[in-house]
A and B are shown apart, each in its own frame.
Chain A
Amino acid sequence: MIQLQNVNKIYKSGDVETAALKDIDLTIQDGAFVVILGPSGSGKSTLLNVISGLDTVTSGKITFKDTVLTDLSPEQMTTFRRDHLGFIFQQYNLLQNLTVYENVQIGSDLTKDPLSIDELLEQVGLAAARDKYPYQLSGGEQQRVSVARSLAKNPDIVFCDEPTGSLDEESSKKVLELLERLSETYEKTIVVITHNNGISEMADDVIKMNSGRITEVTHHDTRVAARDIHWG
């Protein structure tokens, strides 16, 4: 479980201060599929950055189970990310001179107890493309490799920053289906940041943000299957 208590984040640029996060209190349950929704500049990416330790908070406390993340040194935070977090970005961030298999291997090398790469590739439907290079894949396929890479080290939580931002509807739905299936198969907590309202239909919890504040938290008792969400 991740807990945020009174988290604030202020960016300073010269004499100008911008409050990107204001008094954020939030709990993310283990195994939940969470969507953080909001327009550009709402603070959703900053929220992901501070939860995942990519950025520091100005004030407040973030805890993961018994670990107070805001007290960790940069090196300890790196170890924490290594052991517990996975990331999927809008840009697929694949390493161009490694094959599909090797790209996933880069993720699995981080842990002593990784998931099977072959099994993951099977799950994302790219078993046959394991020796291909990124330039030989479509955008959707590349994002699926990125999904497999993030899961390879067997993290507790996977953060997805606009994972379908660069894909068409069909490819996007395939990736979301994949996330949905993997979340169920491997029981991972999935946190998706998006401005696409439709994606929120498949979430357990939807956190809406605007101007650095959480404006609404909605819990869904039943989730809509990724294939059936309203795209838009």
Chain B
Amino acid sequence: MLFKNVWKTLGKKWMQLLAIAVIIVMSSLTYTMMFYGISGIEVPTEEYLEGANQEDFAVEMLNRVTEEEMRDPDVAALAGSGIFTLADIKPADESVFDRLIASRIEAVEEEMPDATIELRDLKAITYTLGDAEHRGLLVKESDTINRSYLEAGARPSTDEEVALNKTYAEENGIEIGDTIDLGQPFTVSGFVLFPDYTLPLFDDNLFNLDPGSQTLMLMTDESFESTIGQESFRLAGTSDSTIQTDLDLPFVVSVMETENIIRSGAVYSEISSGKAMALGLSLFIVSIAVIIVGILISNMLEAERGQIGLLKAIGYSRRQIAAPYLVLILIFAFFMLIAGYFLGLYFANPLKELYLEFYLLPSITIAQSPLVFLTAVFAPLLFFALVAGAVIYKLMGESALSLLSPRDNVSLNRLSRLVSRLLKRANGKTKFKYLYAVKSTGSFLIFFFGILFSTILIVFALMMNGAVDRMTVGGLNDAEYEYEAYTDGAPPIEEGQEPFLTYPFAFIDDQLITLKGLSDDNTLFRLQNESGDELVPETDGLIISSSLALKLGIEVGQDVDIELDEDTLTYPIIGIADDFSGDFAYLPRATLSELLSDGTTDELFNGVYALERPNESDYTTILSRQGLIEQSQSINQYMNLMMNVLIGGASLIAFSILFVLTALTVEKNYYVISLLKVMGYQKREVRSMILNSYFVYALGSALVSIPIALLTLRMVVVVFAEDYGIVLPLEFEWFYIVFTLGAVVLIFFLSTFISRRKIDHIPLQEVLKTYQE
């Protein structure tokens, strides 16, 4: 009978229970979805990376010969004829190239005797598939480190065969046995993965990783060598000992451990941070749910204290009375957690697939784990049992007589006293309004943290809006050229072409940068600062890209030292270009040409911006501006989806919290509302007095949360830029404040709609019943 009574009481509160159900379901859903989604890639990834012998570290090295290496007469002879990069030396004299690489490997091995070092030979190509320009990175098969992993089919056995990434093939409708044109026809023999490219990150641009328009490729060694493309080299290493990341060798640009290399190691931090986030996020949500359930039970029991007192008086034990409340609440929470678990399991697969759209990893079917089930369902259930049990037992502990008497008036909390002092000069109505929402410190804190949490997510999502665009295409949208082409020679500049000079081997504060020389009369690619003002390169000053400024933490007016070969040049920063696509420093082309040629010429160039596609025989690499923009679409869509999910999730949590708290407030203040109506306050005024303070507090909390969100995100940007070299171009616009507040207002009015109606329907006669606040 007692169960039936509690069941009916809970039934009357179905709206609040529904909102609480949303929060409880979200807590186990978040955990299960993220955990299974991540473990769906973690387990096969570990096996794959171990089996394919993923590098433990990579040595990025200069593509040009060093002064020391120039002492070799053969190298010096080649340099004398203008061949001084590894990419040029290899086809010119392979024995010299092999000697250079062997000496570099030897030099590294001397520093790290326990390490095994191997050359990683790569070649970037562009080709047309359908009507779109695609990028391929040919990877030469290695002997021991970073061996290819076959997902399906076979490795190429003839010079007319190629193996690709499976995701790329799927997105382009390519099957094994199909032929693709890479300048000449190749038959797809299979699908491969490379352990040093768990992300298809072919250049410095973090977000140019569209798996639908770029792929890793495996060919026979002969085909690799004969295919024309931009060749690059690095050293891959494995070692059981500590890796020396501070090698002081002239050809070494950087030594990075795999965990810190985005293309190969991002998946590790994705897995660990994903797991931490799964636990942290679900713990946060479940805490909110537990506290709200605690408040709901407390209110429910307070409303029934007379009835409980009567039961105690006629002989029911504390345990007998408490059991129905506790058991029914736990059954409710249990089913919601189970529902959340299975929803999480259901959504884990799309999440895993989403990961696999970008990460180049093998996939397995997600298998359920008892431990995840226990963590997602029974851990929060225990949490619920403890809190609900404590609340129930506290009230049940009172004597029957005390429960049968109206509750003695309770004293005010500190928050109420503070607000009361702040509103000393306000009228009674205003004081009433603002004191009601802070009557319970616990409820108010949940309310505040709920709004804070939602606001941070909304602000982050808004600031991320366009960030990917800024990183991927950034200045490309504003540029006037159609093609950017690179040459090893000096072809004649045709009409509609503007030459530029790049030198990717300079350093500022040990940061490898690309010096770029732009022509004075350059019109096809203009630099602009954040405000949209044009920046013109000057002889005695340096313009740097925003990403470089962020990484180095430097501003306009500061001096920087550029290391250029053996020279160190000091320049003041005269401008920061709104460009996040790489670490660039800009000078006039003539100045850079003179610097690189020791003053002999101001006419050097190694690339052009062009309106028409340049001749392929003159230019080794031709990049289409439109092609690059299109390549960024995929990651843009993905990021937009994630941002929308973020805003949606944040809104749902804020909605549920506001809904439950305002509904409970109305319920708890049934008699007060009735009293106000009896006194002559109109419905509109009563609604305002009971709920509008929440509105003001919600706006206030959101306003407080915005700077907190901005500070937090600013710290994240700086830490990522300075410690990891990853630039997140989060941008804040003033209208984001309006948008965030607008979102909070909308959530407030939607979530309090039911409460407003409930206030209107509270009868006047309620006040005549036994009144208790």
Contact = CB atoms under 8 A, between A and B. Distances in A.
A85 B680 contact: yes
B2 interface: no
Given A98-B428, A98-B432, A135-B409, A93 B680 contact: no
Contacts of A103: 428
Nearest to A117: B428
Interface in A70-118: 75, 78-79, 81-83, 85, 87, 89, 91-93, 95-99, 102-110
Contacts of B432: 95, 98, 102, 106
Contacts of B672: 95
B431 A135 contact: no
A97 B668 CA distance: 14
B768 A89 contact: yes
A89 B672 CA distance: 13
Interface string A124-142: 0000000001110000000
A109 B427 CA distance: 7
A102 B410 contact: no
A85 B420 CA distance: 29
Chain B contact residues: helix, strand, loop or mixed: helix
Contacts of B681: 78, 82, 110
Interface string A199-216: 000000000000000000
Given A98-B431, A109-B427, A55 B410 contact: no
Nearest to B438: A97
Nearest to B676: A106
Contacts of B427: 105, 109
Contact of B678 (A54, A83, A97, A106): A54
Contact of A98 (B410, B435, B765, B772): B435
B357 to A, nearest CB: 54
Nearest to A105: B428
Q: Which of A79, A97, A99, A104 has the most CB of B within 10 A?
A: A97
A102 B680 contact: no
A55 B764 contact: yes
A121 to B, nearest CB: 13
A171 interface: no
Nearest to A152: B428
Contacts of B675: 93
Nearest to B689: A106
A95 B681 CA distance: 15
Given A91-B771, A135-B410, A161-B768, A97 B435 contact: yes
B679 interface: yes
A195 interface: no
Contacts of A89: 767-768, 771
Contacts of B184: none
Interface residues of A, number: 36
B678 A87 contact: yes
A49 interface: yes
A26 B255 CA distance: 100
Q: Which of A79, A92, A98, A104 has the most CB of B within 10 A?
A: A98
A45 interface: yes
Contacts of B411: 133, 135
Q: Which of A52, A81, A107 has the most CB of B within 10 A?
A: A81
A81 B428 contact: no
A106 B764 CA distance: 17
Contacts of A153: 679-680
A153 B676 CA distance: 13
Given A96-B409, A135-B410, A83 B768 contact: no
Given A55-B765, A93-B771, A98-B432, A87 B679 contact: yes
Contact of A106 (B677, B679, B683): B679
A92 B771 CA distance: 8
B412 A108 contact: no
B428 to A, nearest CB: 3
Contacts of B64: none
A98 B423 CA distance: 11
Interface in B406-420: 406, 408-412, 416, 420
B433 to A, nearest CB: 10
Given A102-B428, A135-B410, 8 more contacts: A78-B680, A82-B681, A82-B682, A85-B680, A87-B679, A105-B427, A109-B427, A135-B409
Interface of A: 45, 49, 52, 54-55, 75, 78-79, 81-83, 85, 87, 89, 91-93, 95-99, 102-110, 133-135, 153, 161
8 contacts: A75-B682, A89-B767, A96-B410, A98-B428, A98-B435, A102-B431, A106-B679, A135-B412
